[in-house]
Amino acid sequence: MTSARVIAATQAKAKVLVEAMPYLRALAGRRVVVKCGGEVVDDAEQSASLVQDLLLLKMAGIDVVLCHGGGPQISRMMERLGLAPEFRDGLRVTDAATMEVTAMVLLGRVNLELVGLLNVHGPEAVGVNGTDARMFLVEPASPELGLVGEVVEVSAAPVERLLADGYMPVVASIGMDAQGRPHNINADIAAGQLAAALGAEKFVLLTNVEGLYESFGEADSLISEIDPSGLRGLVDGGSLSAGMLPKVDAVLAAVAGGVPRCHILDGRERHALLLEVFTPEGIGTMVRP
C-alpha cells in the first residue's frame, strides 16, 4: 500500500482526533470525578476498558479521580464468613463484623485491584480512603444502621495533593468518625460530595443502566439531558428504580456543590467514559443546572 493510500485510509482516524479537540481544550487541567461500582473488577474486559479510558483522560491532561464501591464483593465475602447481609431502606446494616468485611473487601480487593491495573505501565495511581488524612469525616447515619456513616465533612486535601503530584487517586468509600473508627458510607453520594469539594468540571456515574428513563422500562424514553428540578420531579413521580435513588442524590449533591455537568452512563458499554468525554454524541443522561 503506498503512503498516499495509507493516508486516505486514515483520514477517518484524523477526523476522530480532530473532533476530540474542543473537548480536550475544555477539560485539560480540569478535574473529572468518575464513580464505578465494585462489579467492574469482576469483569476483566470491563475493567480493562475502564482503565484504558481513565489513563487516556489522564494523559490528555485531565485530573481524573476514580471513586468506587464494592457491594457485590462485600455480600459474597460475608456469605463465605457465614454473615447474613441485612438491608434497611437500601442501606446495609453494618455491625462490627460487617464493617470489618466491608473494609477488607473495599481496600484489599476492589481498590487494590484497580490500582494494580492502573499501574501496569507506570506509577499512575494511588489508592486512598476516607480515613486517610481524615478525608471523609462521618457521623452515625442512624442508631439502627450501626457503623453506617453520613459524611459531614469532606477534606479534599489528600486527593488534591495526589493530583498535584501527578497521580490518579482511587478512592474507596470508607469514612471515619471523630474517634478514628472506619464507617460504611454510600459510595455514590461520597463521590458526588468529593466532586463538589474538588470543584470538578464533570462527575460521571458509571452504572449498569443506559441512563434515566421518563418511564422506567421503556427504552425509548431515555432522557438525554435534564436539570435538577426535572430530576427531583422524576424522584417524586416514582418513575425511578430504588437502586437509582442514591445515584440521583449523588448527582444532586454534586450539582448543588457547583459541578456543572453530571452524567449517568452505562458502564458496561466499552469505552463509555471515553466516548462521553471526547465525542459530540450524547451518551446516557446528562444533568446540569
Report the nearest approach of a second copy to the CB of residue 55 (Å): 7
User: Of 113-121, 192-200, 230-238, 249-257, which part binds a second copy (CB under 8 A)?
Assistant: 113-121
157 binds a second copy (CB under 8 A): yes
Q: Are strands 136-140 and 149-154 parallel, antiparallel or unpaired?
A: antiparallel
Q: Are strands 182-184 and 91-92 parallel, antiparallel or unpaired?
A: unpaired
3-state secondary structure of 216: coil
Among 75, 111, 184, 186, binds a second copy (CB under 8 A): 111
Among 16, 96, 152, 256, binds a second copy (CB under 8 A): 16
Residue 239 or 279: which CB sits closer to a second copy?
279
Q: Report how far Cα 92 is from the mean position of its chain's Cα atoms.
A: 19
Report the alpha-carbon distance of residue 97 to residue 174 in Å, rounded: 15
Map the footprint of a second copy across residues 131-150, applying CB under 8 A. 131-134
Map the footprint of a second copy across residues 49-108, applying CB under 8 A. 52, 55-56, 59-61, 77, 80-81, 100, 102-108
Those residues whose C-beta lies under 8 Å from the C-beta of residue 162, and which sit 6 or more positions away, are: 126, 128, 168, 169
222 binds a second copy (CB under 8 A): yes
39 binds a second copy (CB under 8 A): no
Those residues whose C-beta lies under 8 Å from the C-beta of residue 171, and which sit 6 or more positions away, are: 65, 66, 67, 68, 127, 128, 129, 130, 135, 159, 190, 191, 194
- One-letter identity of residue 26: A
Among 36, 176, 196, 287, binds a second copy (CB under 8 A): 176
165 binds a second copy (CB under 8 A): yes
Q: Which stretches within the chain are classed as H helix?
A: 3-27, 44-59, 71-80, 96-103, 112-118, 157-164, 187-197, 228-236, 245-256, 272-278
229 binds a second copy (CB under 8 A): no
109 binds a second copy (CB under 8 A): yes
- One-letter identity of residue 43: D
Secondary structure letter of residue 134 according to DSSP: G
Number of residues this chain uses to bind a second copy (CB under 8 A): 91
Map the footprint of a second copy across residues 266-285, applying CB under 8 A. 266, 269-272, 274-275, 278-279, 281-284
Q: Which stretches within 119-223 are classed as H helix?
A: 157-164, 187-197
Among 34, 36, 67, 118, binds a second copy (CB under 8 A): 118
240 binds a second copy (CB under 8 A): no
Report the nearest approach of a second copy to the CB of residue 271 (Å): 4
Residue 191 or 277: which CB sits closer to a second copy?
277
